[in-house]
């Protein structure tokens, strides 16, 4: 089978790494890929905004399967174009991807289908938004409607702060069209959980639970980022909780989409908060999480290429997803300046030494080759990922691998999986 992976981040490297392990995969092409992915297959230049160009690339490369990593091409309709041309693809249609593409749509959808979420007001212009502030309890969460690469969700402690955010999003247009509408939402408290499923619209296969770390610094301090690390073990959500999530959140979502004429196919990510009143859905993503994907593929025992080919053919019912009973963790190494403007072009050393450690894989995100040398090229640079006999072992291996890697200004969190490790201690 010829497989095409679209994207160039840590998530896509992790997907490509797992796909390449399948005996079914004859040729792997990554578009545009990154230096890590270049070690697995051929990387070809591509513009992820050029939907027709991506479909033509898949035709030329005779792709039997295309896996779309990031959300932007899905929200723009890449899966529709592939399906129109008879090209097998993993990812939802533009209509179904609106779950991620519009927070106003997502929240109103949750309300229509009785899916538990934070109380909210959808605001179509700044007048709506300023009036909504008169009737809220503080703090509030303000969310830009459209895709904003992790910059669209802000928490305001008091009215002046909220007013400044609304002004920036809705009047000054800081996020462009993404901030033209906003959702103002009740601020919830609790532990977060990423629950991702794979579905062809009929069969639903839940992935192992994961938890990511959005804030830049230890103890959840500092600004929000795209994610500074993630881990997976089954104790993040035990079997009764997973069954509850399927019944109260996943199934009503898929039924609702079907009823509204937007059947879903692909990875569907549920970003949840486990509050004292029960699980609440914060957001949908129409693709795998990044960095959740990295620890997930490290635990996946099945042939991902076979499962995804079945999904693209609408025959997921014959597939399964088996996860190792153990645990995995991914520590993201980021550039100085991230999540603001990252300093780039710094030489990276030590990846080979890190990967010599047992169970360790280093996934590339913001890297490039300059004069034959590997240098930093983005905010999140590497995802150092390790499997272990248990979570303690996985985390220790990941940090031992981090010790081997160097680049100027490297920043990372030292408390990845802290909540999971506490749970593990409590069980001992
Ligand atoms: P979202 O893109 O909607 O998941 O939001 C990004 C992050 O903002 C989440 O992972 C949470 O950490 C935080 N967040 C979002 N919505 C809420 C909420 N209603 N209450 C508290 N925190 C939230």
For atom 3 of ligand 1, the residue with the nearest CA is 283
Ligand 1 atom with minimal separation from the 188 CA: 20
Sign of the torsion angle spanned by Cα atoms 279, 285, 290, 295 = positive
d(CA 38, CA 45): 12
How far is the C-alpha of 9 from the C-alpha of 69, rounded, in Å?
A: 8
Q: Report the residue among 115, 137, 141 best suited for mutation to probe ligand 1: largest number of ligand atoms under 8 A from its CB.
A: 141
Question: What phi and psi values does residue 364 have, to the nearest 5 degrees?
Answer: -85, 145
What's the whole-model pTM score? Answer: 0.97
pLDDT at 158 (0 to 100): 96
User: Cα(141) to centroid of ligand 1, in Å?
Assistant: 8
Residue 197 to residues 146, 194, 249, Cα–Cα distance (Å): 23, 10, 11
**Whole-number pLDDT of residue 191:** 93
387 CA to centre of ligand 1 in angstroms: 28
- Consecutive 10-residue averages of pLDDT for the chain (428 residues): 98 98 98 98 98 98 98 98 98 98 98 98 95 95 93 93 97 96 97 97 97 96 94 96 98 98 98 98 98 98 97 95 95 97 98 97 98 97 98 98 98 98 93
Q: How far does the centroid of ligand 1 lie from the alpha carbon of residue 424, in Å?
A: 26
pLDDT of residue 318: 87
pLDDT the model gives residue 325: 83
Sign of CA dihedral 33, 34, 38, 39: negative
Do you find a cis peptide bond into 139, omega within 30 degrees of 0? yes
**Ligand 1 pocket: which residues have CB below 6 Å?**
118, 141, 143, 153, 185-188, 192, 214, 271, 282-283
DSSP strand pairing (120-123 vs 182-186): antiparallel
Helices and strands of the chain, counted as H and E runs: 16, 22
């Amino acid at each position: 089978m010829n497989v095409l992976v679209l994207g160039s981040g840590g998530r896509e490297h992790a997907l490509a790494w797992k796909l390449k392990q399948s005996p079914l995969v004859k040729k792997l092409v990554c578009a545009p890929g990154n230096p890590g992915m270049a070690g697995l297959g051929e990387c070809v230049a591509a513009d992820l905004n050029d939907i027709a160009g991506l479909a033509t690339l898949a035709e030329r490369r005779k792709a039997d399967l295309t896996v779309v990593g990031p959300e932007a091409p899905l929200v723009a309709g890449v899966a529709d174009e592939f399906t129109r041309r008879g090209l097998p693809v993993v990812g939802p249609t533009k209509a179904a991807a609106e779950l991620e593409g519009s927070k106003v749509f997502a929240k109103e959808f949750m309300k229509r289908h009785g899916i538990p979420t934070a109380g909210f007001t959808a605001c179509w212009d700044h007048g709506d938004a300023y009036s909504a502030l008169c009737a809220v309890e503080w703090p509030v969460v303000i969310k830009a409607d459209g895709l904003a690469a992790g910059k669209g969700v802000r928490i305001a402690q008091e009215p002046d702060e909220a007013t400044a955010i609304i002004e920036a999003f809705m009047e000054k247009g800081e996020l462009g069209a993404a901030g033209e509408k906003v959702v103002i939402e009740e601020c919830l408290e609790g532990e977060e959980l990423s629950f991702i499923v794979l579905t062809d619209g009929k069969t639903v296969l839940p992935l192992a639970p994961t938890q990511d770390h959005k804030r830049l610094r230890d103890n959840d301090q500092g600004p929000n980022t795209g994610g500074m690390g993630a881990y997976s073990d089954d104790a993040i959500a035990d079997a009764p909780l997973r069954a509850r999530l399927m019944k109260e959140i996943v199934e009503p979502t898929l039924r609702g989409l079907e009823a509204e004429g937007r059947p879903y196919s692909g990875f569907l990510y549920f970003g949840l908060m486990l509050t004292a009143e029960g699980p609440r859905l914060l957001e949908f993503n129409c693709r795998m999480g990044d960095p959740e994907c990295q620890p997930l593929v490290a635990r996946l025992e099945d042939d991902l290429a076979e499962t995804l080919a079945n999904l693209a053919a609408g025959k997921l019912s014959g597939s399964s997803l088996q996860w190792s009973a153990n645990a995995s963790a991914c520590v993201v190494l980021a550039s100085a300046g991230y999540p603001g403007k990252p300093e780039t072009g710094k030489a990276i050393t030590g990846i080979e030494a890190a990967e010599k450690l047992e169970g360790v894989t280093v996934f590339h995100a913001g890297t490039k080759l300059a004069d034959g040398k590997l240098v930093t090229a983005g905010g999140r640079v590497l995802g150092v990922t390790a499997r272990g006999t248990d979570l303690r072992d996985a985390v220790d291996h990941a940090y031992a691998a981090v010790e081997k890697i160097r680049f100027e200004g490297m920043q990372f969190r030292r408390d990845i999986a802290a909540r999971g490790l506490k749970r593990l201690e409590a069980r001992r």
